[in-house]
Amino acid sequence: VTGVGSLFDDDTAVTATTSGRYSAEITDRWSIRRGAANGGYALAIALRALRTALPYPDPLTVSATFLRPSGVGPVEVEVEQLRTGRRLAFGSARLMQDGRELVRVVASFTDLAAAEGPSVVHNAAPDLPPPPECLVLNDGFGFGEVSIGERVEFRMPALPGWRTGTRSGRGHAEFHLRFADGRAPDTLALAPLADMATPVVLELGPWASTTIELSVHIRAVPAPGWLRARVSTRHVTGGYHEEDVELWDEAGRLVAQSRQLALLT
């Protein structure tokens, strides 16, 4: 599956209505609980509308501020074009549902294949056994109404402590991930996937967390195949915590970096 016919593409499709407005549907296939969609999935719908409206194909910076939970049902995206230059185009999007704003997005788009300039990387992709030698996090997990657990597949050298019942106390994890139907990653999917990566704050305590702000930098066009994620949370303060995610592609290149601030609940 490389795009057309994938659930991610089907479930984030947008239809232009009037100038700068797009209609879409939040399905129940990416839910974090009954009737409530994953924030990265809601963001993907806004990014689809932005990509349709702007002249460059790849999101470069994406900042999403989550105002309200995203419910299953019809939504509308209002796109505002902010500036288009020779290298970058900027836009803002409001994801609306029942007249209320769910998510505010500001993004820059570019053509990453045309990016030129120095490269110096002092970091490396997570050192993991290949996916077939890893454990499948999803196996035997009763997702129930957490339908997003069936959409993204995780392969890990060892199951996380929050899954086996012994929290490690260490806010760090490295694993493979991909869409469960095999859809290849592309630059549009990277910010959503960074948000869909399993949280590591669960290693620190029995908490749920709600994202307030998510910022993602897309650094390269990913090669087809699995992504490797490095996820870390080092500071939980006053009920807030950051979650940092690096995504690396099968060619060993950093393709995205994300950071979010979330509230423990």
Residues making contact with a copy of itself (CB under 8 A): 60-61, 63, 65, 67-68, 82-83, 87-88, 90, 92, 101, 104, 106-108, 112, 115-123, 170-171, 204-205, 207, 212-213, 215, 217, 219-220, 234-240, 242, 253-254, 257, 259, 261, 263-264
In whole angstroms, what is the distance from residue 154 CA to residue 174 CA? 10
For the bound state, the minimum distance from the C-beta of residue 204 to a copy of itself, rounded and expressed in Å, comes to: 5
Instruction: CB nearer to a copy of itself: give 13 or 124.
Output: 124
Instruction: CB nearer to a copy of itself: give 6 or 110.
Output: 110
Q: Please report, for residues 106, 207, 257, the alpha-carbon distance to residue 98 in angstroms, rounded to integers and kept in the order given.
A: 21, 30, 32
Quickly list DSSP for 194-230.
HHHSPPSGGGTSS--EEEEEEEEEE-SPPPSS-EEEE
Residues in the chain: 265
For the bound state, the minimum distance from the C-beta of residue 40 to a copy of itself, rounded and expressed in Å, comes to: 16
Q: Long-range contacts for 118-126 (Cβ within 8 Å, ≥24 apart)? A: 121/254, 123/246, 123/254, 124/252, 125/228, 125/248, 125/252, 125/253, 125/254, 126/174, 126/175, 126/228, 126/229, 126/230, 126/248
Instruction: CB nearer to a copy of itself: give 23 or 63.
Output: 63
Instruction: CB nearer to a copy of itself: give 107 or 156.
Output: 107
CA-wise closest residue to 101 among 53, 145, 60, 65: 65
For the bound state, the minimum distance from the C-beta of residue 63 to a copy of itself, rounded and expressed in Å, comes to: 4
For the bound state, the minimum distance from the C-beta of residue 240 to a copy of itself, rounded and expressed in Å, comes to: 7
Instruction: CB nearer to a copy of itself: give 34 or 170.
Output: 170
In whole angstroms, what is the distance from residue 68 CA to residue 221 CA? 31
In whole angstroms, what is the distance from residue 93 CA to residue 109 CA? 13
Instruction: CB nearer to a copy of itself: give 180 or 201.
Output: 201
Tokens of 172: 């760090």
Instruction: Give the number of other CB atoms < 10 A from CB of residue 197.
Output: 22
Name the β-bridge partners of 75.
Answer: 24
Going by the DSSP 8-state scheme, the letter that residue 30 receives in this structure is: S
Under a CB-based contact definition with an 8 Å cutoff, are residues 183 and 225 in contact? no
Instruction: CB nearer to a copy of itself: give 9 or 250.
Output: 250
For the bound state, the minimum distance from the C-beta of residue 134 to a copy of itself, rounded and expressed in Å, comes to: 25
For the bound state, the minimum distance from the C-beta of residue 221 to a copy of itself, rounded and expressed in Å, comes to: 10
For the bound state, the minimum distance from the C-beta of residue 15 to a copy of itself, rounded and expressed in Å, comes to: 25
